[in-house]
Structure 1
Amino acid sequence: MSQRHTMRSRLQRLAREIAKFGAVGAIGFVVNLIVFNICVHGFHLAVVRSGVIATAVAIATNYVGNRYWTYRDADTSRRSRELSLFLLFSGIGLVIENGILALSHYGFGLTTPLADNIAKNVVGLGIGTVFRFWSYRTWVFRALPAREAVQTAESFLTDTAPARIDAK
């Protein structure tokens, strides 16, 4: 296999991973946006408190999407470690996202609903998403080592293959 083919294959895998991560993130974005605006305008909660609640709900949504779709082939042998790291890095992303909202709202005095949504759901979420993508793929949803991946695939094929009938 040529180095060029290997590089193309890696780039294609990365593109698929980014597309799936983006699709899950888009759903999380919609959840985040709706919950944030319901908390702020429906329940009249403070903007940062609303942002934290909305981000926490979106984090739960994103974990399910990433675990069972984007990174479904990742190592599942240490699920509690995975969930702990996911929550740690998601928490850092939450601080990034809502820290920018707090800075905009309280630091710069940009307090309109549009300014709050741009600060939280465009700038903060954009920076937080880049951080989350890097941390999830690097630390949370680790790929199986090559030997284990082959064994897992072989056992899956063996377990799901239809019974073979030998004709004599």
Structure 2
Amino acid sequence: MSLRDVALRVLPARLRPLALKHRELLKFGVVGSVAYLVDNGTWYLLKLTVLEPKPVVAKAIGVILATIVSYILNREWSFDTRGGRERHHEAALFFAISGASLFFYTAPLYVSRYVFDLEQPHVSALSQEVADFLFGSIVGTVIAMVFRWWAFKKWVFPTADARAPRRDRKLGKLVPYTGPTGVVDHTPSKN
């Protein structure tokens, strides 16, 4: 039994069709959760050690590492049937959009620290950490996530059903697959 089957069995019956309909968004959310852990784990590790005086730089490094993880997981799992571009073009667009979203990740933290002065000695250490978490981890992540979801579907993976599902490519199954042209292709995708 696959993980997907287990997850669907746990859901109430009336939510299953909704989960199947929005599976791409749900997968994107899971990938985002993994990237969130990589981002924040790296950020806190750096900002509480070697980059203590530079929390925005530490956040940027965490976002960059999380972006690399995100590309691999999104391409191979979240958007496994989407495509429409050559891989190098797709990767370049993914990282360009992720680079642009770096602004959305770090701007709220910058505003918190340097516009609202929510840093020591203006506030307590606890207040600084709470503000950093709220602005850097919550507000920035939500804004960037909405932007990335929209941009990835629009520019990076624009064509739905451009590739056979990953499980069919992996197994080398000869499954009837209707590509973006609408023509049935009986060979596994080589992507």
State how far apart, in whole Å, the 1-side matches of 2:58 and 2:75 are: 26
**1:148 CA drift (Å):** 6.3
Higher relative contact order (CA 8 A, sep 6+): 1
State how far apart, in whole Å, the 1-side matches of 2:60 and 2:81 are: 30
TM-score w.r.t. length of structure 1: 0.79
State how far apart, in whole Å, the 2-side matches of 1:121 and 1:149 are: 45
Alignment match of 2:118 (pick from 77, 87, 110): 110
**1:71 CA drift (Å):** 1.0
**1:149 CA drift (Å):** 7.1
8 Å CA contact retained: 2:46, 2:58: yes
Percent identity, aligned pairs only?
A: 28
The Cα offsets for residues 82-111 of structure 1, whole Å up to 9 and x where unpaired, read as 111101111111111101110111111112
State how far apart, in whole Å, the 2-side matches of 1:61 and 1:69 are: 12
- The alignment of Structure 1 onto Structure 2 pairs a total of residues equal to 146
TM-score w.r.t. length of structure 2: 0.70
State how far apart, in whole Å, the 1-side matches of 2:158 and 2:148 are: 14
Q: Does 1:61 align with 2:95?
A: no
The Cα offsets for residues 18-77 of structure 1, whole Å up to 9 and x where unpaired, read as 100000000000111100000100223411101100100110010011011011122265
**Secondary structure of residue in 2 paired with 1:43:** coil
RMSD over aligned Cα atoms: 2.1
User: Which residue number corresponds to residue 70 of structure 1?
Assistant: 78
State how far apart, in whole Å, the 2-side matches of 1:110 and 1:53 are: 21
User: Which residue number corresponds to residue 13 of structure 2?
Assistant: none
Alignment match of 2:158 (pick from 117, 138, 142): 142
Q: Which portions of structure 1, spanning 4 or more consecutive aligned residues, are displaced by more than 6 angstroms?
A: none
State how far apart, in whole Å, the 2-side matches of 1:149 and 1:94 are: 40
What code does the residue aligned with 1:150 have?
V
**1:12 CA drift (Å):** 6.1
State how far apart, in whole Å, the 2-side matches of 1:132 and 1:84 are: 14
Ranges in structure 2 where 5+ consecutive residues have no aligned partner = 1-17, 120-127, 163-178
**1:114 CA drift (Å):** 1.6
Q: Does 1:36 align with 2:30?
A: no
Alignment match of 1:52 (pick from 60, 64, 75): 60
